[in-house]
Amino acid sequence: MAYVKKLFDENFLYYASYVIKDRAIPDLEDGLKPVQRRIMHTLFEADDGKYHKVANIVGSCMKYHPHGDASIYSALVVLANKELFIDRQGNFGNLYTGDEASAARYIECRATPLAKDVFHNPKITTWVDSYDGRNREPELYPAKLPVLLIIGAEGIAVGMSTRILPHNPLEVIQAEIACLKGKKFNILPDFPTGGIVDASEYDEGMGRVRVRARLDLSDPKRIVIREIPFGTTTESLIESIENAARSGRIKVASINDFTTETAEIEVRLQRGTYAEEVVDSLYAFTQCEVSISCNLLLIKEGQPVLMRVGEIVRHHAERLVDILRRELKIEEGELKDELHARTLERIFIEERVYKRIEDKKTQEAVNKAVFDGLAPFQKEIKREVLAEDVERLLKIPIRRISLYDIEKARAEMARLNARLKEVRAHLATIVDYAIKWLEGIAKKLGPTWKRKTEVKGFGHVDAREVAKRDLVVRYDRQSGYLGTAVSGGENLFSISSFEKVLVIRRSAYWSVVPAPEKLFVDEGMLHAAVADKDELADVVFSIVYKEGATGYPCIKRFQIEGWIMNKDYQLLSEGSQVLWFTVAKAASITLRYVKKPRIKGLEGHFRLGDYDVKGIKANGVRLAAREVESAEGMDSPSPARRAKAPELFDAVPQKPSARKPAPVKKKK
C-alpha cells in the first residue's frame, strides 16, 4: 500500500507539473502557451510571404505538439482572431455570434510583420529538442512586448487556473514607454467586443471588472444593443433576455438579431413599457451586464506565480532593453566581421596579393604567400588574419576579381562603418533606443487599434431592488400547501422571485425557504411572511403553549434575527403543544383551565405587554401553575371590547418585567 501511495504521489506530481507548465498556463517571457508557441514557430518556418492552408500548418505543427490536431486547430483560430500575430483569410468564425470557423482545409493564414518584429530572432532564441528528438523548437521566444497583457489568456490546470484580460496594444506600449521614462502608468482592459467597463475593482489584474453592453435608447419603444460584454455572444445574450421575459422580469414584445460584422440586437418592448424603465432590469437579469473575475497567474522561470499588471510591464521594459542590447551586440559583431572580410578582400584584389600564388605548387605555400602579402597592411586590417580568412579569399572566383569595382567597394565599406557607428550609438543610449523602437511599433498599430471598450464607473444594480413583487403567495388550509403555484386558498402576500419566505408550522418548527412554488407546511400553519431582516426587525412573535410534562400554560415572546436557509429550527421543547400564536404587539389572552374538584376560577386573563421579549432559544415563562385546557387571544380588540376591559389593552410599559401568576387559593 505504501508503494502504491508513493507511486501515485510521484506520478500525480509529474502530471500536475506537466499540465501547469506545458499546456494550460502561459509564460511571462513571451505570453504564449506551448501550443501557441509551436504554432508561431511553424508559421515562421513556412513563411514565404504567401498564405498557407490552416490544415497544412496544423499538420506541420504536429511535429512539435503531441496532443493532436484538434487542439492545434482551435488554438490557431483563437490566436488568429486576436488579429495581431496571424494574418487570416477565410471564415475564422464570429466573435459576436459564436459561430465556429470553417474547416481547416478551407481557411488560410500566415505570420504578420508584427509577429516577426516581436518574436522572431533565431540568433538570440534558446532552442530545445522536440518531443521525439527529430526537430528543434524554441524554448521561449524573446518577445519584445508584454504579449500576455495584449492578448490575454484563460487556462485551467491541476489545482490552479488563470484568467488574464486583454488590453489595448497601444496602451500597453505607452505604459512600457512611461515605465522606461520613469513615469507612472495605469492600463485597464480593452475587449474586442467593445462595451462599457467599470474597472474600479480591477486591482491590477487580481480583482474583477463589470462589463455592460452598449445600449441605444434613441427610440423609447425599443432598445438596440450595439456592443456586447466580453465573454458573451449574441446567442447567449438573447437567451438570457428571453428567460427574463418568460419569468416576467422584463416586458418584451419581440427580439431580432441583425448581427453581422458588428453586434445589433433589437429588443422591442410591450405596449405601455418604455426603454428607460427597462434598462436597469436588463442589467440586473440578463447578460447585458456581467462580472468577470481576474486571476493573473503565469509561469515565471519555470514556476507558477501570481503577478500584477504593473509588475509585468516593468519586467518587460527591462526585458526589452536586454533583448535590444543583445541584438545590437550581435549586429555589432557581424558588422565587424563584415568589415574585416571586406578589408581583406579589398587588399587581396587591389594590392594584387593573388599574384603571389601563381607559382606556388602546394597548399601550404599558397597560404603562406597570402599571409605574407597581407602582412604589410596589418594596421589597416586591425585584426589577426586567420586561416579561415585566407580560405575565404582563395575561394573568390576569377570573374569577381576581374569585375571588381573599387568605388562600389568603398561605398559599401562606408555604409558598414556608418551602420557600425549607429549601432554603437544605440548601445550607448539603449533606453532611448528602446523607446524609439516602441514608438515605431505604436505608429504601425495606431490607425487600427483604437480603444474599443469605454472605461466608465457605474453603480451596481441590485436585482432584489429591481425585481417587482408580482408573485402572490397563497395558503390552502385544507391541503396544507403554501406557494406561488397554489391555486386555491387565501392570498397571504406578494414577493419577488429573489425573496425568501419565513414559515412557522403548527408543530412549532420554523424555517426560511426560497420563494416556494408549492410547499407542504401543514393544515394549521401558524405564520408565513417575507423573510426580510429589515422588515422582521420590528416584528415580535408571541406563542402560548402547554408544557408537555406538566400541562401548565407558558408564554414565549421572541424575534427572529438570523437563519440558515432550508434548516428547521425548534421553538418549543419536545411534547409541548401550541395553544395560541400572534405577532400583535398589544393583545390579551384568556386561558381556560382544566376543571378540577374544589378549585374555583376556570379562566385566567393575561396581557402580552407584561412579558419581556427574549432570545429565540430562551425558555418560555409560566403563566399559571394549573393545567390548561385551551387559550383564546384578542389581537385587534374593538373599541367596545377595549372600553369594557381597558386593563387588558393599556399601553405597554417601557421596561416590563415578567409577571408572576397569582397564587391559587384553595377552598377549605
Query: Which residues share a beta bridge with 593?
Result: 628
The alpha carbon torsion through 511, 512, 518, 523 (nearest 10 deg) reads 30
DSSP SS3 for 131: coil
Q: Hey, how many other C-beta atoms are within 10 angstroms of the C-beta on 299?
A: 20
For the chain, the distance separating the N- and C-terminal CA atoms, rounded to the nearest angstrom, is 85
Contact 420, 336 (CB under 8 A): yes
Return the DSSP state at 658. Answer: P
Please, is 105 exposed, middle or buried when counting C-beta atoms within 10 Å of its C-beta (0-12, 13-18, 19+)? exposed
Query: Which residues share a beta bridge with 269?
Result: 252
Q: Smallest Cα–Cα separation from 244: which of 223, 262, 227, 259? A: 223
Q: Hey, how many other C-beta atoms are within 10 angstroms of the C-beta on 2?
A: 6
DSSP SS3 for 572: coil
Q: Hey, how many other C-beta atoms are within 10 angstroms of the C-beta on 373?
A: 19
> For residue 618, what are the contacts with CB-CB under 8 A and spacing of at least 6?
556, 558
283 counts as catalytic: no
Dihedrals phi, psi of 189, to nearest 5 degrees: -60, 150
Q: Hey, how many other C-beta atoms are within 10 angstroms of the C-beta on 499?
A: 18
Residue tagged active-site, from 3, 73, 106, 611: 106
Q: What is the spatial distance between Cα 251 and Cα 231, in angstroms, rounded to a whole number?
A: 26
Q: What is the spatial distance between Cα 307 and Cα 26, in angstroms, rounded to a whole number?
A: 13
User: Maximum distance among all alpha carbons in the chain?
Assistant: 160
Q: Hey, how many other C-beta atoms are within 10 angstroms of the C-beta on 371?
A: 15
Q: Smallest Cα–Cα separation from 143: which of 322, 328, 331, 330? A: 322
| Active-site amino acid positions | 106
